[in-house]
Structure 1
Amino acid sequence: MPPRRAARLAIVSVLSATAALLTAPISHAQETRPARAQAADTIAVYPPIQGPSLWDRFGQTPPSSHHRVFSNWGYLNDWSVDIYQNPGATVVSPFGSKTSAGNPVTVKVVTVTPGCATGNLADGGWRIGLEASDGATGAVVGRADVMHVDQKPDAIGVGATVGPWTRLGQTGRFRYSSCYQVNGDTGAHIHLEVINKTKYSCFIARPAGTGLSDETSVGRVGTLNSGPQQAC
């Protein structure tokens, strides 16, 4: 097993809460999440890019304020961030392979669609939505939308199960548009959005331009945060 996934096998404790694109159908400020039972375990979230990448390269996309574009289960996603790497880097699932209790994580594809409102892949590539479940209990813990994916393989379709190293596509540079305002290869990025099934997930705060490896945890799902865009 590659060291990245070995590093994802367990996180010791549940972290507590601290601290124009598509139009989402519902405001997070107006929502009330259903009082369903919360999953007992959490799952780490990692950069959806194999190898090195950069967190919020230009300091314009911190998850505490970055726009959230997509919705799942009728709710606007909890937080988002742009993670940068030049075109051609392999895109993978951001979910760890084990829960905090050591249970296996099952990840399946729930969304495959052009990411931009125009429906044109040239404007911003694919949005691939992934759902992470506790493989021991079957409980759905959270989802992630991975946006601006280029060169998606035909096998990546709704219903497919993906492993931690399954290739979802690659980073790409798309034409300049309201959906993708990038002027050079250094601006190529993956727009990552994350949401809990119940309550709220959290991100791990770090300075703009921080270098990441594919073993660097950037957040968690299954946490009991009280609201969106909160740090772990």
Structure 2
Amino acid sequence: MRPVTSVGAGIAAALATSALFLTAPLAQAQTAQATRVAAAETIGVYPPIQGSSTWDRFGQSPASSHHRVFYNWGYLNDWAVDIYQNPGATVVSPFGTKTVSGHPVTVSVVTVQAGCATRDLADGGYRIGLEAKDATTGTVVGRADVMHVNNKPASISVGATVGPWTKLGETGRFRYSSCYQVNGDSGAHIHLEVINKTRYSCYISRAAGTGLSDTTVVGRVGTTNSGPQQAC
């Protein structure tokens, strides 16, 4: 559940990062990932943009096949998608506030770094990694990497706890490069990657160009899908 507060109620291109990001061989990670077991709870995943946004605006980043470039726990993330909004929109955590059974969810920052292989923020902004935990059981359920974040506040650092409307930064335009191939403001987007701590997370299938609000569920962590890049 993602709460709609007085603040939240009115708020609702392709990434081609260098292979330098890959911290483990793909085949090795896939083999290891196949041994993971199911999590006990599920948590909704929402657009990491406050207010309205667009799912895969140009049909170039479907969650069923969009490239995944980041690893967590030694595994390549389960799925990825680009969610679009013009520069200046507030970027927030994509995790819901409660598990499916109503347990509160705690979200903490686990990664803050320049997202592109050049390590130059001008090439693609920040990658901010977030971890969602079932606060009742203490179980880590999943992680999300939010990429192409601009104007990150100093308070967003590794170890920080964030709420559903905590500002992580803003959407932005960066210079055209192999890491960020965008020509206009309409191509500005957040590259979202999601992974389960245990077995595979999933996305909600929808058509390219679908409009989203900040309370639209776009995926789930803690699910028991049989492989990566699968719909819920």
TM-score (norm 1): 0.90
**Deviation (angstroms), 1:27:** 1.4
> Could you tell me how far apart the structure 2 residues matched to 1:96 and 1:196 are?
14
Residue identity matched to 1:22 = S
> Could you tell me how far apart the structure 2 residues matched to 1:77 and 1:212 are?
23
Residue identity matched to 1:70 = F
Q: Indicate if the aligned counterparts of 2:124 and 2:148 stay in contact, CA closer than 8 A.
A: yes
1:216 and 1:5, CA in 2 relative to 1: closer, same or farther beyond 3 A? Answer: farther
Report SS of the residue matched to 2:33.
Answer: coil
Alignment correspondent of 1:209: 209
Q: Indicate if the aligned counterparts of 1:5 and 1:96 stay in contact, CA closer than 8 A.
A: no
Alignment: residue pair count: 220
**Residue-by-residue CA offset, 1:91-121 (whole Å, 9 max, x unaligned):** 0000000000000000000000000000000
Q: How does 1:43-54 map to 2 (within 5 A)?
A: 43-54=43-54
1:172 and 1:204, CA in 2 relative to 1: closer, same or farther beyond 3 A? Answer: same
Q: How does 1:185-196 map to 2 (within 5 A)?
A: 185-196=185-196
**Deviation (angstroms), 1:178:** 0.4
Gaps of 5+ in 2: 10-15
Alignment correspondent of 1:184: 184
**Residue-by-residue CA offset, 1:29-71 (whole Å, 9 max, x unaligned):** 7423375663311000000000000000000000111000100
**Deviation (angstroms), 1:4:** 9.7
Gaps of 5+ in 1: 8-19
> Could you tell me how far apart the structure 2 residues matched to 1:43 and 1:5 are?
22
> Could you tell me how far apart the structure 2 residues matched to 1:37 and 1:199 are?
5
> Could you tell me how far apart the structure 2 residues matched to 1:4 and 1:226 are?
39
RMSD: 1.9
Report SS of the residue matched to 1:31.
Answer: helix
Alignment correspondent of 1:26: 25
Alignment correspondent of 1:140: 140
**Residue-by-residue CA offset, 1:134-182 (whole Å, 9 max, x unaligned):** 0000000000000000000000000000000100000000000000000
Aligned residues with identical type, % of pairs: 74
Alignment correspondent of 1:99: 99
